[in-house]
Structure 1
Amino acid sequence: MKKHDFDNPRTVSRGLKVQPLHIGLDSLYLLIEYPHIDLFHYWKSTTSQASSLRLRNGIVHEDFVIRGGVLGYKLTIWDGDARLLITDRVEETLIATHHAGEGMGAMLQLGPKWLMKHGNFSSSNELITNIHVQLKKFKISSPQDYPIRINRIDIALDVFGLAVKDFIIDEWRHGWVGRASGKHFYDENEAGNLSGFSVGSSEGAVRFKVYDKVLESKKKETFGFWASVWNWEILKDNAQVTNELNIARFEWSIKPFSAKFTSFQYLSDYSFDGLKQIMNYVVTQWGRLCIISENPKRSRWETHPLWTIIRRMMIDAWDIDHVGNAKREYHFTPDLTQKYTNSLTGWIAGMRARAGLELGYDQPADLDEALKLAEKHNRSIDEKAKEKFAILLRLSGKRPSQK
């Protein structure tokens, strides 16, 4: 990454210019479609005599620490900040049951320390090879034989000289333009200053967070690690000038598999260009900070200077402006589900009842009468049905019959 000053929209940190300190992957969540129960049996056998309390505190086995599971998995195997989540609910144990197709495989979660050492995201071959090596350490003998989904990928940008506590909340609350609108702001416990906020939910395709990375890393006792990433010797001199160290983290959590990003849903699809395209998508199409305007068309609002700086930092580091935006697949299969038909019969029954009252009957009107009454103030139902059919046909990708 080039080390140069970026123009700042307003003075921060008593005159210091903001600087990008770190841009990279902060975490990677992979689901291995591993259908066999032997993996669970192996690790379970190492804890067979352990109490639930010991398992909760962690049991050392060789170079690993074994703990109870999370996210529906039964065991978690730790190797540094790489962890494997396993269960006995794998595909082969659910065949010929009403749970068929619900196999959970195994989930690999890679943290920032592992990614800093082994996660060269600019080289797909090196990254995939190192992930396979890690899975072999966890006793999956041939990881290359199983599809591996990219469930979640966190991309982080750390900016020096930017104090989150000085952010104007209303700028973010009302100036955010994008696909997600839900926001949550939170304060530091001791001083009551703003310490961070998030846009979007953990269930969504993308979630964006901004927070005071120094405060967060000290609470989690990871400041020493991050100081080595940021080059602490340089930061220490600058911090002495201002008597404080201001580092804001901008972090995007993206779910490529569930969000159906084209050619980026499986580890075998991974490429640095694909990662750049996703980054381009989240900072331009998914959401951005804008200057609040009276124009009712928010999509035409001018991009806020701070967001322009963030994008320039990404361009400088990853050259993201030459690869285009990631695309998402929107598969749509219209069908008559029970939920839909339940709603439909409810609407029809209600329409007949209302029509009966409107016509002065002592009972619900016939369906034909109710439909004719509804059409008096609207286009014909037949015309609307043809229009809807054309839309559903296009969305489903089906071709009309020659009938």
Structure 2
Amino acid sequence: MAGFAPQLRIPAIYMRGGTSKGTFLRKDDLPEAAREPGPVRDALLMRLVGSPDPYAKHTDGMGGATSSTSKVVIVSASESPDHDVDYLFGQVAIDKAFVDWSGNCGNLSSAVGPFAIESGLIPPERIPADGEVEVRIWQANIEKTIVARVPIQDGQVQESGDFELDGVAFPAAEIGLAFKDPADGEGRMFPTGQVVDELEVPEEVVSGGRIQATLINAGIPTIFVRAADLGYDGTELQDDINSDPATLDRLETLRAHGALKMGLISRLEEAANRQHTPKLAFVASPRGYRASSGKQIDEGDIDLLVRAMSMGKLHHAMMGTAAVAIGVAAAVPGTLVSQAAGGDEGRSSVVFGHPSGTLRVGARVEQLDGEWTATEATMSRSARILMEGKVRVPADVLDS
């Protein structure tokens, strides 16, 4: 009878960050073969999460079978003297065998600072008895700086508090995030040079085969369209979209055409293996609605409505990186986002309504030689350690 190798035991912390959660790992704790990019690392992380799972349940792994919970984070001491830690994010597909490394997770960004402190990656002399620690994070996927302000109480990360975040059931301590120079990658913030483009799409996407869109690289590459152009009013909840496979196919087709226009893919077929980016969101002017929790959101509570797709499904709240894109786009006159927020003048901050409630995001932008750029986007999140210990993964995964 053939023998079987025992499971690997890898130190890990399972954390909630914003409205997402995932498994956090120190790079140095990974098996040596999985410390560098490649098929071994991807195979290890997919097995950890429980993917690919044809049943889409993640019963045999740490994942939660949604785009918000099928996530992994690798953190290490930074190689840059201007940063404390390097943070790498992996979005693990649920029923397919791949890990998407093309973008960041803004929600889990809020948990990186607390994880770094808890894991001993921040020198003890930097941590006050009470106050806050500024953790400078290098986001390795998109090569950008994130500054997290982590509250400290009695020399420990403060996790409990009274900060309420729609999409999270319980209050916690507030963590401030500043995304520096959030335009993604080295390309232009508006990759076509226009704040509004016209996309040519199949007739089954929209009658007439044309739809206006704002294509922006900020926080994460995002395609914004008007909800009305898709036949929506912007108050939709998850079941309104996710229960209809034909609707999901229609929106994915639109996303693929936007990705092609942004230059992120060279053929439409490539979008299937680039699910994490770009995001697709639809916007509308304010109106009242009842959030998924039952909370009533009044028209006067918000500046605009936004619904966003993530990994092929309508997100239950809002991705943090997409919130950055919303804030930046709202600050630029003429975008579909600033139009939905009440005019073309641009705004330094907006409160937008999402399926779970509301969120405020701010941004600073400037125009130089006719090109728009973003210098900073800010928002508040919260984070909490849910479990710590060692995650077990079958050892034969390293033979992949």
- Shorter-chain TM-score tier: under 0.3
* Higher RCO structure, 1 or 2 (CA under 8 Å, sep 6+): 2
Q: Would you tell me which structure has more helix in proportion to its own residues?
A: 1
Provide TM-score, normalisation by structure 1: 0.27
Q: Would you tell me which structure has more strand in proportion to its own residues?
A: 2
Work out which of the two has the higher radius of gyration on C-alpha atoms and give 1 or 2: 1
